Amino acid sequence: MTLPIQNPESAGAADRARIAETFVSLQGEGKLTGVPSWFVRFSGCNLRCTWCDTPYASWSPEGAMRTVDELAKEAQAAGVGHAVVTGGEPMLFPAAIALCERLRENRMHITIETAGTIARPVACDLMSISPKLSNSTPAPGDARDASGTWRSRHEERRVNIEVLQALIDAHPQRQLKFVVAGEPDLAEIDTLLAGLRGWTNGDVLLMPEGVTTPSRERTDWLVGVCMSRGWRYCQRLHIELFGNKRGT
């Protein structure tokens, strides 16, 4: 299988990468919600979602260079059985391949959280794909993007059907997690899913947009959508437990 790589210029080294943070917490989203996990957040992203909840790993990437070896040792010492490789966009970084191999040697369950625009041959037990809808595109005049460069790049890059299909095909254990801001997003999700094969309703999760606990009304609406289509409602447990804070 060919795994197409987009934007390889952002790749970096095979044995190290800039890491925004590592921490132990409960997985807050998706099929493994509530599972104690060691998180590693790669710093850097090929997209710029307007509502990104980790701007320190996308709009303004922070963090030190860390080697795969030291990360793998830290993961093993964390004392939990699950690892979540997230970002930013972890698939930008070749070091994600070596890190996942080491986490597997640690006998850890590995989740990769990606927007699904880049594919690499990574070992993982759950491929968590979050395709970005048009609600993610920075608005014209966004102060973080005065020239509009990122708005254009984001629109060009945010959906790559070939990569999404490759990830679905390569990873029988997967989830397709959509951030939903409102009713118009549903038609976009339908169109996107219609262009993909091999997914099941059980793989599709809808998550309310926002970094605060959603209102009862919004939750009820989204729950109703999920129930009518046989999809899953995806809460943000970490937001409810800890608020929108780093390291959670």
Nearer to ligand SF4, 148 or 230 (CB): 148
Q: How far is the CB of 85 from ligand SF4 (least distance, A)?
A: 13
Write out the binding residues for ligand SF4, residues 10-49 only, by CB under 6 A: 45, 47-49
Pick out residues in 110-139 that bind ligand SF4 (CB under 6 A): 115
Q: What is the largest CA-CA distance in the chain?
A: 47
C-alpha distance from residue 84 to each of 30, 67, 113, 124, 199 (Å): 12, 17, 7, 10, 22
Instruction: Specify the residue, 10 or 173, whose C-beta has the smaller distance to ligand SF4.
Output: 10
User: Which H helix or E strand runs over 38?
Assistant: strand 36-42
Residues 79-108 within binding reach of ligand SF4 (CB under 6 A):
87-89
Amino acid identity at 217: E
- Tell the burial category of 40 from Cβ atoms under 10 Å away from its Cβ (0-12, 13-18, 19+): buried
- Residue closer to ligand SF4, measured from CB, 16 or 48: 48
Residues between 217 and 246 with contacts to ligand SF4, criterion CB under 6 A: none
Whole-number Å distance between alpha carbons of 196 and 75:
34
What's the min distance (Å) between Cβ of 144 and ligand SF4? 11
Please, what's the b/e burial string for 104-137 (b: 16 or more CB within 10 A of its CB; e: otherwise)?
A: bebebbbbbbbbbbbbbebebbbbbbbbbbebbb
Check if the beta carbon of residue 200 is closer than 8 Å to that of residue 232. Answer: no
Would you count residue 159 as binding ligand SF4 (CB under 6 A)?
no
Cβ nearer to ligand SF4, comparing 49 with 164: 49
- Restricting to residues 43-82, which ones interact with ligand SF4 according to CB under 6 A? 45, 47-49, 52, 54, 57-58
Binding-site size, ligand SF4 (CB under 6 A): 12
Interface positions with ligand SF4 (CB under 6 A): 45, 47-49, 52, 54, 57-58, 87-89, 115
